[in-house]
Amino acid sequence: MDKSSDCLYFQRNELQKNLMIEICDLYTSTLFLFKEQSYPGRCVVAYKGHVKELFELSEPDRNAFMKDVCLAAEAVQKAFSPAKINYGAYSDKLPHLHFHIVPKQEEGLDFGGTFEMNPQQIYLTESEQAETVKKIVSALSYKKQTKPSK
């Protein structure tokens, strides 16, 4: 049964817009900036098709999606220089294939432990959000792999 009509990533509804900002399209996914920025540069890479599990993808699609995850993580590394990047693909309550790209700083929140899904501590102003998006797009652009969204 196709549940894409209920999917946050397909609907692009107010809930989705309240949580994240669309940055750009990658090969098989869309890159979003998480509005809650307790982990500076935190993003979400969401697969464009509606699947729940990584194993549901064909090998070429899976490789392309993982290439997107790597491109996003590399851009976040270049833009924010975290000590480590954590990856999360839980999807228990949102059954759509997506990876959280969570940069962690040694003196920052939860370093050495599991990142918190939504700490609700740091929200950027619109100009700070725009600057963060610009940093990520600039870091992606050096490879000329993406086309910016609207």
Q: What is the pLDDT of residue 113?
A: 86
pLDDT at 81 over 90: yes
pLDDT per position as a tens digit, 98-131: 999 999 999 988 898 888 888 888 999 999 999 9
Q: Could you give the C-alpha distances from 33 to 2, 3, 108, in angstroms and in order?
A: 26, 24, 19
Q: What is the pLDDT of residue 108?
A: 86
How many C-alpha atoms does 120 have within 13 Å on its Cβ side? 1
Domain count along the chain? 1
Q: For the residues of 84-141, what is the DSSP string, one character each?
A: EEEEE---SSS-S-EEEEEEE-TTSTTTTSPPPS-----B--HHHHHHHHHHHHHHHH
pTM: 0.86
pLDDT per position as a tens digit, 14-61: 766 788 999 999 999 999 999 999 999 999 999 999 899 999 999 999
CA torsion 134-139-145-149 (nearest 10°) is -10
Q: What is the pLDDT of residue 9?
A: 63
Domain housing 109:
4-148
Q: What is the CATH number of the domain that holds 56?
A: 3.30.428.10
Which whole number is the average pLDDT over 123-149? 82
Other beta carbons within 10 Å of 126: 8
Which whole number is the average pLDDT over 63-87? 97
Q: What is the pLDDT of residue 117?
A: 82
Q: How confident is the model at residue 70 (pLDDT cuts 50, 70, 90)?
A: very high
Q: Compute and round to an integer the Cα radius of gyration of the chain.
A: 15
Q: How far apart are CA 143 and CA 101, in angstroms?
A: 19
Q: What is the pLDDT of residue 1?
A: 37
7 within 8 A of 50, measured Cβ to Cβ? yes
